Structure formats: structure tokens, C-alpha cells
Structure 1
Amino acid sequence: MFIVDNAPPAAVQAPIDLVPSRYAVQVGDIEALVVSDGVLPLPTATMATNADPADLAVWLDRMYMPPDAFDWPLNVMVAKSGKQTILIDAGLGGQFPGFPRAGQFPQRLQAAGIPLESVTDVIITHMHMDHVGGLLVEGVKERLSPSVRIHVSATEVAFWTSPDFSQTVMPKPVPNVLRSTARSFYETYRDRLCIFEDRHEVAPGVTVRLTGGHTPGHSVVDLVSGGERLVFAGDAMFPVAFDHPEWHNGFEHDPEESARVRIGLFRELAENRGLLVAAHLPFPSVGRVAVDGDAFRWVPVIWDY
């Protein structure tokens, strides 16, 4: 059972968060915990690269968001199924300096009572730095079990041997850091990788499946147990996507395919009424999706504490 008390273990030296950045969800027999890795400030222009700037400005104002930059939430998840403890994505780490509010995953996981040593499996939705960087933090690899299995799609691994950024619209320094972080992740963990093709059951009721779009090997994770379901959607959608699923994000390597994947997942979730958690929806990022004309509507769950 996950420990969800507010006080960290005595051995934890990091400052205590005023608001514990974790949220527990039960999916049938699967215990899940959403953990905030912090926030990453980004220019708002990356939110909708194919939208009229005036339309984006109207949306930002309607959402009470600043016009020039916004805090991009960073969420990871832990799932316990049977005897397995599965980490889903690993946050930013320290590969891109200057973001003190990001890269919080290791200490927040420990504060939640989940030692890195207990992790049996890691699922990587894709190899962007804010999803694998946490595994490159000093001391993390040493604390992970030598037998830990790291699941990533074959398409994703192949893509990062020679990544294509021609359709992305990112801040200038970012592509080089993405390249170097993906390379470091692969070189550091290549002997622990469990590479799958299209779909792979990691643990009972925990399945990772290839979607493509955001990156060619981008994947989502399905938790299904006891008639209940939850999808951890990685970077398939962002806050603006509910109102404007056709708007492209600057970090998408195939924007047109990303929009198709996003709309397909929205429709799937609206039909099956499953829970949604995504890496960049505001923490705790737990809710459902409803159809709203040609767009969609985010329905946050009521906080069950």
C-alpha cells in the first residue's frame, strides 16, 4: 500500500513541501500514484504553433494565463500491480539547468514512501528530456535494482539515433539538449532496456501501447482492473488541446499525426469513461473527457481524500 502521509521519512533531508505533490488513485486492484516533478516555464508561443496569435491570446486570457510564458506541469506516475512496482516516466532531472522548480521526482517519490530500490519496471512514454532526465540524476541508477526492466518502444529507440526536428518549433537550445539527453539515457541503460514493438503487457493490467505522433515512438500506458481503467497519456495532449485539439504543440515531431492521435484518444476516453492522466496537465491531472461539439471537455475528478 502506498504511503500517503504528509511527513517524509526522517532520512529525507529535502525541505518539506507545503502541499505534498502526490495523489493516489485506485484502479480496480491496481494502486496508482501521480507524482509532480514540478513545473517548467516555457514561452506560450510553443503551445499552438499553427494558431493565429490573436486566437491564442484570447484563449490564454480566458484561462487567466499570462500572455508570454506559462508553467508547464510535469507529472510522472507509479503503479503497483501484484508484486511489481512500475514507474511511468521519470521527469526532467538536471540536464537542462536553470529550472529549480522542476526535477523534483526523486525526492518526492522518496517522500511518498516509495524507495527507488523497490521499482521493478520503468515505462518510458518517449525519450524527451522531461521524461527520461530523472533517470540520469546522480545516484538514481545506483539505487535502482540491477534487475530493473526499462520498457521503451523500438520505434522510439530507432528515432533517437538520428532525430528529425524539422517540424518542431522549440526554443533554440532545446533540440541539442534533447539529443544529448536521449543519447545519455540510451548509453546509460541500454543493458536494461526491454524493447517492444506495438503493445506490451508489463504487469497484470498494465499495458504500454505505441501511438506515435508526438514522437514516432510515443506510447501511452493503460491501467485496467476490475472494470475500471486509466490512461497515462504522456505528451499526447496539453491543456489547450481540449478546446483546440487541432492546434499543434511546438514539441511535436509530427504535428498532423499528433492531432490525429490526440483526437482518437479523446474519443476513446469519452466513450469508455476511463480516467485520464497526462504528463503536462495541471497536477494532479486526474479526470475524464467529455465530447463538447467539435471540441472536448476536461472533467476533473472530485478530490477523494
Structure 2
Amino acid sequence: MSLDTTSRLVTGSTDELVPSRYALTVGDIQVLVISDGVLPITAVTMATNAEPGDLSAWLEDMYLPPEVTDWPLNVAVVRSGSKTILVDSGLGTEFPDFPRAGQLATRLVAAGIDPASVTDVVLTHLHMDHIGGLLVDGLRNRLRPDLVVHLAAAEAEFWEAPDFSLTVMPEPIPDVLRRTAAQFLDVYRGRLRTFETEYEVAPGVLLRRTGGHTPGHSVVRLESRGEALTFAGDAVFQPGFDNPEWQNGFEHDPEESTRVRIRLLGELAASGEALVATHLPFPSVCHVRAVGNGFRMVPTTWDY
């Protein structure tokens, strides 16, 4: 993978009117952010502890619909040294209620990336919109036999008997999450390489467990030649900049998630490093500014 191959216009049946991939570099590390599509989500799920009037005002201020909004799904492909690393895998295509998500396999091909070239997969956590792509043909059947899947040990352990007592999810999502995670562990257990706190999967590609959203939730920090970028998974959602104390219904430990979010955004605001996250508007590449008791998302200018 190179910038020449990842940024060129691909002609033919895979052409799309809306861009679905964005290439950038972090020093010597090549990064391709790919949109897996969008999920419809009830707006209240994004801020379960917010006052209804405050949430309504925020949605109106952001020009978002008041009841159901589209939740972006971003995945990344990272090339460092001899490694080609897939960071999360999107939703997959086994969920007919979400027809606008699950685009990863098609869009990898459109970007000129052979799934067999992927040496490693990094998973921020085991929610279905992060692992589903690895469970469907088009990707699963094209992966190399020596593929290594990196995951925090606490995450694998959690999904053996997951606790949803502090989540606020619409039905039947908890059962679907539980079933999908169990299927994933059954299929990929022999390929898992777990880590406790941190693990460097390739030069300048560091996995770090944060917990919060799930017990083993992790972020991926890229650093090379004085540049850095963090793929934050579900540590931050769109409302989490203005209102970092607002809790997301998918968080298994909302209080710890709040602490993780504030700490991460504070670190990024202080360092000026770039941020990418799963559910921020594509391509989600941005910087963070501290503003009063909250933060501000500053989208980067597209580099043409």
C-alpha cells in the first residue's frame, strides 16, 4: 500500500459519488481511513444522562435530526515497516436492519488492498460494529492463514460472561452483541495475541488499553518522525467534545468512560496530536482544543 495506490481514483463499478477512503501519512507510517458506512442510532443513546432539553439543543446546534441520527463507522489500514494492519473491521453484512453499513470488504478492493496482504488485525473492542467484517465472506475467507489478531486480554475475558447492567441500549442489541462476540471468539481464538496494558505491534504502532467503554477497550497510537495520531475507537463520540461528561448508552462502565474520555482529550489538546475515532464524521481526522470545561473538535483540512 502506498499513497499512490490508496489515493488514486478507481474506475469501474466501485466508483462512488461520496468519498469513502482518505489517505494520510504519520511520519513514515501510511494510514488509510475507510468508511464502513453509517448506522442509524436513536439520538438519546448518545447522551443517556443528559437533560432532554440540553440534548435537543445540542442536536439542533449541530444540525442533527432530533430522534434518529446516522452514526459513522470508520476503519483504518496502517502500513508500518513490513506490517499491514487492519484496525477494526466494521459491521459486516449479516445485519439486514443496517443496509448502509458493512462496506469494508468492497471498499478494501476499491482501494486496491488485497485482504491477503493484511498481516495483523487490531481490535479496539468486541462490539459488533468493530468485529462484524471479519465474520463474513469477502473478508474472512480471503485473510492469510498466519494472520495475527491483537486484543486486550481483559476484553477477551469480559465477553466470556459480559455484564450489560450499566448500559442503556435498545433491544435486542445486547443479545446481538453477546452472540456476535461469542461467534468471533469461537472463530478467531486460535489467532488471538492478547496483551495486558500496552503492546507495539509494528514500529511506531502502539496499542494501549484504556478500559471504560468496555473493560478491554483500547486505542492505537501511531508515532513516527515527530508526528503522531491516535485511533481512539469508541473512547470519544461526537457529543463528547462539547460535553465530555455525557455518557453513551453502549458504555459498559459509564463513569470510567467519562474519565478515559476527559483524560484522552486533555492529552491530545495539550500535545496537538491528531485524532481519528470510529464514530466521528468521516474521515474524522481532527485535532482537539480545550475550551472551558470541555473541548472542541477541529477538523483537519483535506490534503489533496
**Normalising by structure 2, what TM-score?**
0.97
8 A Cα contact 1:95 1:129, kept in partner: no
Amino acid at match of 2:232: A
SS of 2:32's equivalent? strand
2:10 corresponds to 1:7 = yes
Q: Deviations over 1:184-214 (max 9, x none)?
A: 1111111111111110000000010100000
8 A Cα contact 1:167 1:252, kept in partner: yes
SS of 2:112's equivalent? coil
SS of 1:162's equivalent? coil
Q: In 2, distance between residues paired with 1:185 and 1:57?
A: 37
8 A Cα contact 2:14 2:110, kept in partner: no
Question: 1:15 deviation in Å?
Answer: 4.3
Map of 2:241 onto structure 1: 242
Amino acid at match of 2:303: D
2:83 corresponds to 1:84 = yes
| Structure 1 unmatched runs, 5+ | none
8 A Cα contact 2:219 2:231, kept in partner: yes
8 A Cα contact 2:105 2:138, kept in partner: no
Map of 2:34 onto structure 1: 35
Question: 1:138 deviation in Å?
Answer: 1.7
2:133 corresponds to 1:134 = yes
| Structure 2 unmatched runs, 5+ | none
Map of 1:114 onto structure 2: 113
Q: In 2, distance between residues paired with 1:39 and 1:275?
A: 23
Q: Deviations over 1:168-191 (max 9, x none)?
A: 111111001100110111111111
The sequence identity of aligned pairs, in percent, is: 60
Q: Deviations over 1:144-171 (max 9, x none)?
A: 0101110001000000000000111111
Amino acid at match of 2:202: A
Across the two proteins, how many residue pairs are aligned to each other? Answer: 301
Map of 1:197 onto structure 2: 196
The equivalences for 1:59-98 within 5 A come to: 59-98=58-97
SS of 2:97's equivalent? coil
Q: In 1, distance between residues paired with 2:295 and 2:116?
A: 40
Q: In 2, distance between residues paired with 1:253 and 1:264?
A: 18
The equivalences for 1:173-252 within 5 A come to: 173-252=172-251
Question: 1:5 deviation in Å?
Answer: 1.4
Structure 1 runs of 4+ aligned residues shifted over 3 Å read none
Question: 1:21 deviation in Å?
Answer: 0.4
SS of 1:172's equivalent? coil
Map of 2:266 onto structure 1: 267
Q: Deviations over 1:62-106 (max 9, x none)?
A: 111110000000000010001110000000012332211100011
Q: In 2, distance between residues paired with 1:165 and 1:114?
A: 37
8 A Cα contact 1:6 1:20, kept in partner: no
Change (3 A) 1:32 1:15: closer
Amino acid at match of 2:137: E
SS of 1:98's equivalent? coil
Question: 1:24 deviation in Å?
Answer: 0.8
8 A Cα contact 2:232 2:275, kept in partner: yes
Q: In 1, distance between residues paired with 2:87 and 2:102?
A: 15
Amino acid at match of 2:230: V
8 A Cα contact 2:235 2:257, kept in partner: yes
8 A Cα contact 1:275 1:288, kept in partner: yes
8 A Cα contact 1:118 1:145, kept in partner: yes
8 A Cα contact 1:95 1:181, kept in partner: no
Map of 1:143 onto structure 2: 142
Amino acid at match of 1:95: E
Amino acid at match of 1:122: V
What's the C-alpha RMSD, in Å, of the aligned pairs?
1.0
